[in-house]
């Protein structure tokens, strides 16, 4: 059996397993969202998938309904006023991402792969990175998502968050995602799952740099945000 077949079976297995494991969370979060904020439980947002096709990414609702047309649009900043009170907790703990397990079951996402971007954010990538990203199924988590768990903090410290995001964060994140494309294997797939869980528990860990050796060196503007092992 070829590796893509194995990882698809693994996607189905892990997504069903995680859905069952977090069932108590669903039972709490769904009524909590229904009766707070704007009363919305789920949020669907167009994202760019494999082959450049668009699909609706499913999340728990954490922001005002018209958020894409307010403020910084698709870019969410630290203490963004568009984020609802309950939404702040859901975003910080990544619970808001749980509905994407159904995107995995459907085949829109893999458990491991580059995070899918909105069409507007995807357009910020250089063309060669865009062409590489659409060659693989996007993921629930990936190398870029692991490295940039503190993305909102990074943009907060920038003089111009929008420019810093488009000119510094996005190009390097794209290189990290292409690294995964070039090193895809069942081992890399499993390491993304393990390291994702690890950095949620230990956010300042240097494990990502040890687990994914050979990652492109980050630009000077980003290097100080990470605890990288000395070379």
Tens-place pLDDT, residues 127-169: 888 999 999 999 999 999 999 987 878 888 788 888 888 889 9
In a domain, 32, yes or no: yes
In a domain, 230, yes or no: no
Query: What's the burial of 99, exposed, middle or buried (CB within 10 Å: 0-12/13-18/19+)?
Result: buried
Give the structural domain span for 124.
Answer: 3-223
In a domain, 228, yes or no: no
- Other CB atoms within 10 A of residue 84 CB: 19
| pLDDT for the residue numbered 89 | 85
What is the domain count for the chain? 1
Q: pTM value?
A: 0.81
| pLDDT for the residue numbered 74 | 59
In a domain, 7, yes or no: yes
In a domain, 94, yes or no: yes
| pLDDT for the residue numbered 1 | 42
pLDDT tens by residue, 182-202: 998 999 999 999 999 999 888
Nearest by Cα to 167 from 111, 205, 196, 125: 125
In a domain, 231, yes or no: no
In a domain, 229, yes or no: no
């Amino acid at each position: 059996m070829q590796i893509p077949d194995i990882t698809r079976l693994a996607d189905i297995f892990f997504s069903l397993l995680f859905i069952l494991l977090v069932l108590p969370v669903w039972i709490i979060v769904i009524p909590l969202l229904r009766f707070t904020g704007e009363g919305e439980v789920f949020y669907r947002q167009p994202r760019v998938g494999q082959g450049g096709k668009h699909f609706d990414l499913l999340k728990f609702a954490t922001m005002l309904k018209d958020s894409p047309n307010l403020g910084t649009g698709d870019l969410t900043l630290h203490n963004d006023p568009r984020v609802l009170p309950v939404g702040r907790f859901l975003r910080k703990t990544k619970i808001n991402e749980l509905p994407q397990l159904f995107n995995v079951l459907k085949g829109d996402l893999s458990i491991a792969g580059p995070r899918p971007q909105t069409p507007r954010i995807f357009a910020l990538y250089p063309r060669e990175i865009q062409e590489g990203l659409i060659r693989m199924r996007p993921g629930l988590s990936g190398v870029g998502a692991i490295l940039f768990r503190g993305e909102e903090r990074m943009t907060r410290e920038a003089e111009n968050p929008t420019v810093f995001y488009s000119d510094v964060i996005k190009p390097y994140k794209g290189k990290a995602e292409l690294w995964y494309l070039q090193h895809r294997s069942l081992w890399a797939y499993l390491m993304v799952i393990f390291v994702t869980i690890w950095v949620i528990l230990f956010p300042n860990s240097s494990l990502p740099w040890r687990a994914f050796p050979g990652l492109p060196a980050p630009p000077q503007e980003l290097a100080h945000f990470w605890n990288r092992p000395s070379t």
